[in-house]
Amino acid sequence: MDNDQRLCVFLIDDDAAVRDSLSLLLGVRGYATRVFDSADAFLHAAGDGGEGWAGCVLTDIRMPGLSGLDLQRVAAERGMPLPFVVMSAHGDAAAARQAFRQAAIDFLEKPFDDADLFAAIEQAFVRERERLASTNRERTVSGRLASLTEREREVCDLMVQGLSNHEIAARLGISHRTAQVHRGRVMQKMEAESLAALIAACRAA
């Protein structure tokens, strides 16, 4: 396994024996884990949106209080992006369909093969790494935009709209040469190799 220490499996099950056995199994496999005995305990620890938490949720579906499906729904309402892997000791097709409608990575029926569990977690981690990479790109672009002066930001906005140097100069009441200088600084500060790259970065921010 390509272990990423930033990612954690958040294990939620009201059965202490299941929590202990799965926590041991995942630990031996090299996964970082945090264990909770209820959905409410998980939500209390995560706070609003689970800020700073990365990995996936591995939850039982039938628990006192909030069920695994309820937890999926509440997490989505709170803007918590963690992917879910749902477990159940009962072959409930309706519950499985609901879990997948709520974007679960997988629905595992207990007892399940270790390989199926690891495959589901790795699939969840792939999605999570993609999300983290996208977030980092957005933060990088936002930081670069923040480094622009007010005039450079105006020029940048007009460049993204497709205006030429002559058109930018006319729009802002500046000389063509000044527009060229600002354009060069925008490209440099934004670390954009082309106008197309600048447009893509600004639209993704």
pLDDT tens, residue by residue, 3-44: 444 799 999 999 999 999 999 999 999 999 999 999 999 999
How does the average pLDDT of the chain come out, rounded?
Answer: 91
Take residue 159 and report the two structure tokens written for it: 């460049």
Q: Within the chain, which residues score under 50 in pLDDT?
A: 1-5
Q: Does pTM surpass 0.85?
A: no
Residue 5, pLDDT score: 43
Residue 125, pLDDT score: 96
Q: Is-cis flag, bond preceding 111, omega within 30? A: yes
User: What is the dihedral sign for C-alpha 116, 118, 121, 123?
Assistant: negative
Residue 3, pLDDT score: 42
Residue 2, pLDDT score: 43
- Strands (E) in 23-75, as ranges, are 32-36, 55-60
